[in-house]
Structure 1
């Protein structure tokens, strides 16, 4: 037992590297957004303009992730004695919800294009998509390292990964339109991309919700922990055992 004058303080682990990576990815994504917006307007390409709208949502998502990662470093207060660490989890949940909306939007736009295939400048579409692909590949590589340890960074990573898939789809669509003149290639590929985005969104929302509901971490068997504690000499019984995730990479037990 702690003496009556004992006290404990805790601050969230420093994630300077996470914030640096998010900042760099945000800068890259913002540049690609401008390139696709201008390119789509010049080419009269609804595909590029739609992807630019997708990029705008991702810029907002990356900004949210960066803000959450920064605020999470603040020390605990008397009103918030556990600190602000779970803001990263909330940001991941919001990012997952935005990904859901993006996937649905892609599906709706694809259906519209199936009905009325738009005229697209295949050459310009291909060129702008190539620039977007290279830039998005850079953003993905920036966020890939360490994304499995932080739900917040994973949410941002999934956003830029969906951007990369969008660039690949735009490249393929641009090539097919330019070489074969088949404009339906764009909505066909969009549906496939939307399905991939939807799957990523579902996993992110599920994991974020599990953390907020203080579910037992999937990599820990509660029964095994119970048995290990019960086997310690001097322990008569174990009651009301709880294991939960406070924030990414931090598990608590009571």
Structure 2
């Protein structure tokens, strides 16, 4: 009987992780500063679109702050009962980001509909110039976070927040221009509804992707049936049982399986051949394989002997 444990627990170069944190901190500072300005202008101009953008920027800031916290927790080594460490802290962060976006979108959607039914006075020029400044700020923040490691669902969640806000500012700038040129103040509420739709789209995507990890569904591109067939195709493999494929955290897939091989084969050599095939075909480095000789008295894992 042989068991293989080829585990890559690396977190990447420390310089890269430090750079990611620095990029996120700069983006956070930029967003908080502009959000404060936008709240003041939004109330002064009577613009729901600007206040909606400011609320969304608040979720941007929360998303980045959660990302920074999750990065620090995920970097801690395994200890005690946390045999994988706290790597899934970033998935919980992504879930929180998605839920926040959806709840905020619901509240702002109701406010936008009410404002559309009863438009108030809106200072179009203030909306336009503030939104244009917001586009510049979000472009800078998008570039900063885009340079970080977006394979992490945690950082990707923060990036999606910023990207959504960039599109929201474009819609708000268009609304400001319409109000300034035509006097149609309902454009402010329409821009808010566009922002709400973008928030819902981003929030649902984050919940879907983080849910896949929490429910331990096989990652995209790693279909269990295909992997099973490829393992069975390795010379000497008779059968593959109890195959499990999941993600420890985003971008870190893992696999375990019970493999039966022909009696004349060396279990250790068979395991190495299977691991090489898994790496070549799927770049899987975190594998746990139990390899046994096939025989009439050998039962698969999980099945009790009589």
TM norm. shorter chain > 0.5: yes
- Which residue of 2 is the match for residue 121 of structure 1? 123
Is the partner of 1:215 in helix, strand or coil? coil
Is the partner of 1:241 in helix, strand or coil? strand
- Which residue of 2 is the match for residue 90 of structure 1? 92
- Which residue of 2 is the match for residue 54 of structure 1? 56
What is the CA–CA distance in structure 2 between the aligned matches of 1:122 and 1:189, rounded to whole Å?
Answer: 13
Query: Structure 1 residue aligned with 2:79, among 54, 68, 77?
Result: 77
Count of paired positions? 251
Is the partner of 1:237 in helix, strand or coil? strand
1:106: Cα distance to partner?
Answer: 2.7
The answer to whether the 8 A contact 2:48-2:112 is kept is no
Q: Structure 1 length normalisation: TM-score?
A: 0.91
Q: Whose Rg is larger? A: 2
Is the partner of 1:117 in helix, strand or coil? coil
What is the CA–CA distance in structure 2 between the aligned matches of 1:33 and 1:216, rounded to whole Å?
Answer: 39
The answer to whether the 8 A contact 1:10-1:76 is kept is no
1:48: Cα distance to partner?
Answer: 2.1
Greater Cα offset, 23-32 or 188-197: 188-197
Give me the CA root mean square deviation: 2.2
Is the partner of 1:24 in helix, strand or coil? helix
- Which residue of 2 is the match for residue 194 of structure 1? 196
Query: Structure 2 residue aligned with 1:111, among 103, 110, 113?
Result: 113
Q: How does 1:214-233 map to 2 (within 5 A)?
A: 214-233=216-235
Higher strand residue share: 2
Is the partner of 2:247 in helix, strand or coil? strand
Higher helix residue share: 1
Greater Cα offset, 203-212 or 10-19: 10-19
Is the partner of 2:237 in helix, strand or coil? coil
- Which residue of 1 is the match for residue 208 of structure 2? 206
**Does residue 1:172 correspond to 2:174, yes or no?**
yes
What is the CA–CA distance in structure 2 between the aligned matches of 1:134 and 1:239, rounded to whole Å?
Answer: 55
**Does residue 1:27 correspond to 2:33, yes or no?**
no
Deviations 1:62-90 (A, max 9, x none): 11111111111011111211101110111
Q: How does 1:8-19 map to 2 (within 5 A)?
A: 10=9, 12-14=11-13, 15-19=17-21
The answer to whether the 8 A contact 2:24-2:145 is kept is yes
Greater Cα offset, 143-152 or 57-66: 143-152
The answer to whether the 8 A contact 2:47-2:188 is kept is no
What is the CA–CA distance in structure 1 between the aligned matches of 2:62 and 2:205, rounded to whole Å?
Answer: 20
Is the partner of 1:236 in helix, strand or coil? strand
